Amino acid sequence: MWGVLNMNGSSERHGYPLSNSEHCVSSSVLDTATFMINNEERNNYETFRDCLSGPVIQKSATKSKPKGRRSSKGRKNAVKPVTSAFPQEEQDADELAEFIDYLATEIFTSLPSDLRTLSYAALQKDPDLSTKYTDPIPPSNLDALLGNIPASVPDTLLSYALLTDLSYLPNFLTPILTDYITTTSSAPPPYSTTRTTACEICERDWIPLTYHHLIPKEVHAKALKRGWHEEWTLNSVAWLCKACHSFVHRIASNEELAREWWSVERLRGREDVVAWAKWVGRVRWKAK
């Protein structure tokens, strides 16, 4: 079981005692942490959490119990084990997920803003980021990143024997940071590899699909000249059935599609598209 212990060894939820059934990473702690991740960073946070989860789950599955270690003075936020044994087969998957969420939040929120919002688009706008966050990460940049990690993180990793020595922290975190940087900064895949199994508007999965240029080719030059989009985004597509493809072109001109309705999320946010998808989704051919 995972627990949050304060300096005197008692369990707390933001200063309040936990009941015996609540000796785990409390949901209120994680709820508070959630507010620390703004909408702009949400997708990147989830990517970082996923990169972190692999090593944590792998290491947790290969050990039987944690290494006991008392919290250092002044380190109030470290997650500490509250049971003497840690057999993997007895752990609740939800508690492990909350533990990973806790670690991911502690680390991610300590990263620089430009790393928390890193993307292929950001690299195109600021080429210096490609040098700053490259593979391998330059030693000076890596030292700066690790230097900002809260003390509660290595304390927690040591407590659960995810680290055997503090000096191994760079070995543990560097592959995770590199994986995160590679994932968030990769160029979008060619449209031919993004094909879905269902129409992205009506969600019918038994009907042939066509690709819809989210930024119509006829206005590519205008989109670049006016600064509506960057060149690398021009070939973004959505996979639609013919009925939905035709409907999209009926509700907006090519220029309007390029300026306002250039993503599946934006299209599906329109009331007329929602109503259309609900109706056409019920249209099915009878078997012969």
* Tens place of pLDDT per residue across the chain (288 aa): 444 433 333 333 233 233 333 334 444 444 444 557 888 899 899 999 999 998 888 777 665 444 444 544 545 555 554 443 444 444 567 788 888 999 999 999 999 999 999 988 888 888 889 888 988 888 888 999 999 999 999 999 998 888 889 999 999 999 999 999 998 888 776 766 678 889 999 999 988 888 899 999 899 999 999 999 888 888 889 999 988 998 999 999 999 999 999 999 999 999 999 999 999 888 776 554
Contact 185, 119 (CB under 8 A): yes
Q: Are 159 and 79 in contact (CB under 8 A)?
A: yes
- What three-state secondary structure class fits 210? strand
Using a 10 angstrom Cβ sphere, with 0-12 exposed, 13-18 middle and 19 or more buried, the burial of residue 195 is exposed
Rounded to a whole number of angstroms, the distance between the first and last alpha carbons of the chain is 57
pLDDT in tens, 98-141: 889 999 999 999 999 999 999 888 888 888 898 889 888 888 88
Give the pLDDT of residue 191. 67
Question: How far, in Å, CA of 33 to CA of 11, rounded?
Answer: 18
- Selection from 98, 99, 134 nearest residue 118 by Cα: 134
Q: 3-class SS at 75?
A: coil
Contact criterion met (CB below 8 Å) for 142 and 115: no
pLDDT at 130: 85
Q: What is the pLDDT of residue 104?
A: 94
**Quick check: 2 and 95 in contact, CB under 8 A?**
yes
pLDDT for 24 equals 43
Dist CA 62 CA 171 (whole Å) = 18
